[in-house]
Structure 1
Amino acid sequence: MKTLGIIGGVGPLATMYYGDMLVRLTDAEKDQDHINMIILNDTNIPDRTAYIVDPTKTNPVPVLQQDAQQLEAMGAEVITIPCNTAHTFFKEIQSAVNVPVIHMINETVQRAAAEGAIRVGILATTGTIQAGVFQQSCMEAGLIPLLPDEEIQQDVMSVIYDQVKAGRPTDRKQWEKITKAMETLECERIILGCTELSIVKKELQLDYRFLDALRVLAETAIVQCGGKIRN
């Protein structure tokens, strides 16, 4: 099987959850049935949203490229980045290496389409929203992307930065407010387009409407590396 390289640290908790998810989702009866992984938990990668919102901030691209190259040099044959916002710079990262980088956002949108959704809500960082990567991917797939208003977007950012990244539990009432707002948009699927929100799905046991981009990435990586997904 192929060796998977992971550019982690964006954020650290989501990276560890992703690694755990890869193991638990693999159909394996012994150690040798699992895929090989190299996890580079680089917490020095500059904040992606901060740079997208304000280009005078430190550019994360050179560090992301360097990490991808380091993983390739260590033997990675497929690379994943468990950070949706980082996919704003997907072309730059892919161009830095000779091995495939899985496009987390495109894979997730394609999964929503495969599940029959047309109206798709997007919950993500402000950087991801402003970059338009999910919106573009949805429109290319024939789906309708639906975004929260400014007030709800601030709530989403609070959950991501003030709660999950800060190691605090999710404010259930605040999340219910977000959910109700997306329900008014008549979303058939709501993409959790930030890896910190994958932690929220686990913590609050969110229902099938919430499509976890991190899980889609994990399943795609297992298959592309030659493993099998547990039913």
Structure 2
Amino acid sequence: MLTIGMLGGMSWESSAEYYRLANVLVRERLGGLHSARVVLHSADFAEIERMQVEGRWDDAAKALAGAAAQVQAGGADFLLLCTNTMHKVFDQVQAAVDIPMIHLGDTTAAAVKAAGLATVGLLGTGFTMDQPFYRERLESHGLRVLLPSPEDRATVHRIIYDELCLGVVRDESRRAYQDVIARFDGAEGVILGCTEIELLIGQADVPLPVFPTTRLHVEAAVERAIQSTL
């Protein structure tokens, strides 16, 4: 079995879900006492979040590139960047290591296309929704990506940083997200484009098909990791 590298801690709430899912999926595929081989680096998210707010993306890229090199040195065969927003610096991180990275946007787009859909709504942090790096990656796969209104984007962003990243899950916030999704005009499905959003809502909460990026990312990683054992 290959060793999965995880560059996490942004926030650790979602990184814990990455680790849990990897082990659950390996056990489901291989049975018995099997678990995932994982090397995990967990960043101090307060430092990364400060760089985000201050627009210091080059500094964030350098910090994550250094962490990625540590993960590679720890024995990882490939790497996951366990956050949608920081895929803004994906190319810089990939350039710092010799092992391949699985792009979260690619795994998500593949799932949307496999479901036969072409137009999707995108939820995520303000950075992910407002800036083109993530949307353009999805669009490069032929998808049409819809965004919430500016007011709804502010609501989605606030709940992520003020609640979900702190482990706070509120029914009121779930209803707020459901209202945002209901206002998507023409969406055939919804991308949960922030790893913490899956702590708040899932398919049972939304009438449209949802695409949980964390699970899709981990599923792709587990498939790659166990190829040599099947």
- Scaled by the length of structure 2, the TM-score of the pair is 0.88
Report the residue type matching 2:181 in the other structure: T
Aligned to 2:88: 88
Which SS does the other structure have where 1:169 is aligned?
A: coil
Aligned to 1:139: 139
Which SS does the other structure have where 1:156 is aligned?
A: helix
Aligned mates of 1:140, 1:45 — CA distance in 2: 32
Q: Deviations over 1:120-162 (max 9, x none)?
A: 1110111112331232123211111100010100110122012
User: Does the 8 Å CA contact 1:35/1:227 hold for their aligned counterparts?
Assistant: no
Aligned to 2:31: 29
How many residues align? The count is 224
- Note the 1:197-212 alignment, pairs <5 A: 197-201=197-201, 205-206=205-206, 209-212=209-212
Which SS does the other structure have where 2:122 is aligned?
A: strand
Q: Deviations over 1:86-110 (max 9, x none)?
A: 1111110000000011101121112
Q: In structure 1, which of residues 171, 174, 179 is the aligned counterpart of residue 176 of structure 2?
A: 174
Classify 1:186/1:218 alpha carbon distance in 2 versus 1 (closer, same or farther; 3 Å).
Answer: same
Find out whether 1:39 has 2:9 as its counterpart: no
Aligned mates of 1:150, 1:220 — CA distance in 2: 32
Deviation of 1:7 after TM superposition, in Å, equals: 0.7
User: Does the 8 Å CA contact 1:8/1:41 hold for their aligned counterparts?
Assistant: yes
Aligned to 2:77: 77
Deviation of 1:202 after TM superposition, in Å, equals: 5.0
- Scaled by the length of structure 1, the TM-score of the pair is 0.88
Aligned to 1:60: 60
User: Does the 8 Å CA contact 1:45/1:63 hold for their aligned counterparts?
Assistant: no
Aligned mates of 2:57, 2:115 — CA distance in 1: 39
Find out whether 1:98 has 2:95 as its counterpart: no
Aligned mates of 2:161, 2:114 — CA distance in 1: 31
Q: Give the structure with the higher percent helix.
A: 2
User: Does the 8 Å CA contact 2:181/2:190 hold for their aligned counterparts?
Assistant: no
Find out whether 1:128 has 2:124 as its counterpart: no
Find out whether 1:213 has 2:210 as its counterpart: no
Deviation of 1:62 after TM superposition, in Å, equals: 1.2
Report the residue type matching 2:39 in the other structure: I
Aligned mates of 1:150, 1:221 — CA distance in 2: 34
Aligned mates of 2:59, 2:206 — CA distance in 1: 34
Q: Deviations over 1:38-97 (max 9, x none)?
A: 12122257335x645642588211110011000111101111011001111111000000
C-alpha root-mean-square deviation of aligned residues, in Å? 2.3
Aligned to 1:114: 114
Q: Deviations over 1:149-193 (max 9, x none)?
A: 1010011012201211122113233122212222xx121111011
Q: Percent identity?
A: 24
User: Does the 8 Å CA contact 2:119/2:186 hold for their aligned counterparts?
Assistant: yes
Structure 2 residues without counterparts, runs of 5 or longer: none
Structure 1 residues without counterparts, runs of 5 or longer: none
Find out whether 1:16 has 2:16 as its counterpart: yes
